[in-house]
Amino acid sequence: MENNLNRLLSEQLKFAKILIDEPMKNHTSFKIGGPVDVMVIPTCEEELVEAINICKKNDIDYYVMGNGTNLLVSDKGIRGVVIKNSEGLGNISVEGNTIKAQAGALVTVVSKIALKNSLTGLEFASGIPGSIGGAVTMNAGAYGGEMKDIVAKVKCLDGNGNIVEYTRDEMNFRYRGSRIEDENLIALEVEMELRKGNFEKIEKTMRELTEKRNSKQPLHLPSGGSTFKRPEGHFAGKLIDDSGLRGVRYKDAQISDKHCGFIVNLGNARCKDVTTLIQLVQKVVKDNFDVCLEPEIKIIGEK
């Protein structure tokens, strides 16, 4: 199947980078995951759209990913095609108080450009490691801010191959969710409306938030970020800590002893090791506090 897929995509995507049997652990912050049959890395929006159209026309399963910062991929890998947009779709432009960024642009890079132009409003996201497309899809947030606070418009590809545009009010933003997830859309470009601010003040806020992240989060080890969504009225990390699970380890997967809201890879963790810990946490927290923890990371691939 890989050879047929490779030939089909190579013939029609002349400039895209195409990788065969590519280990997904090389493309996720967890550093976990078996091979995908074919990975396509488009060089532009048109190639992304064309790759999706080719997959649809030929009944090929596909998955569009950004920077892989919240993905946990199966040890067996992924059958079909993964289209990675974080390398070729990273254009960013600034006009007045507006920043437009393609979905593959990294949030950290966009934040630095906002700082360079003395634009305030994106400080909360300066340490978020994912892509703008992923951030807007899950309405990423931290330290009192969320993407919904700054997004003006989002350009998407719908299930019929049409390019559509939604305003902030039409995006159905909520805690860690949006219209993109609801309707299985694919983000192409995000327009953010910021405010003119003071360079030194913006820089100071970003530096303070970075220091806060470094001191409280296990950024020195591979992970998928916060493992669980925040349950209403609680904090996942505190519930896990109060359940006596801090530092609990299964093989090379561990509930971080620095922040219990993170499961980290100590070196050679596999997907199964992480999911075993996830299930343990869910059971113990449910037994102790009658609270159901829902994963924030996305688990994908062949079971």
Give the type of residue at 131: S
The answer to whether 22 is a known catalytic residue is no
- Report the distance separating Cα 29 and Cα 26, nearest Å: 8
| Nearest to 128, CA basis, from 59, 201, 197, 206 | 206
Distances in Å between the Cα of 69 and the Cα atoms of 84, 106, 134, 223 are 12, 11, 9, 8
Partners of residue 62 on adjacent β-strands:
81
Angle separating helix axes 199-216 and 107-116, nearest 10 degrees = 150
- Beta-carbon contacts of 215 under 8 Å, excluding residues fewer than 6 positions away, are none
Taking the CA atoms of 274, 175, 124 and 166 in sequence, report the sign of the dihedral they define: positive
Catalytic option among 22, 47, 74, 176: 176
Q: Residues 52-67, buried b or exposed e (16+ Cβ, 10 A)?
A: bebbeeeebebbbbbb
* Phi–psi pair at 210, nearest 5 degrees: -65, -45
Annotated catalytic residue, options 111, 226, 243, 256 = 226
Q: Which of 212, 240, 228 is nearest to 299 (CA)?
A: 228
Specify whether 226 is catalytic: yes
Check if 174 is active-site: no
- The DSSP bridge partners found for residue 101 are 92, 190
Cα 163 to Cα 97: distance, rounded to the nearest angstrom: 25
CA distance 62 to 53: 10
Residues labelled catalytic? 176, 226, 296
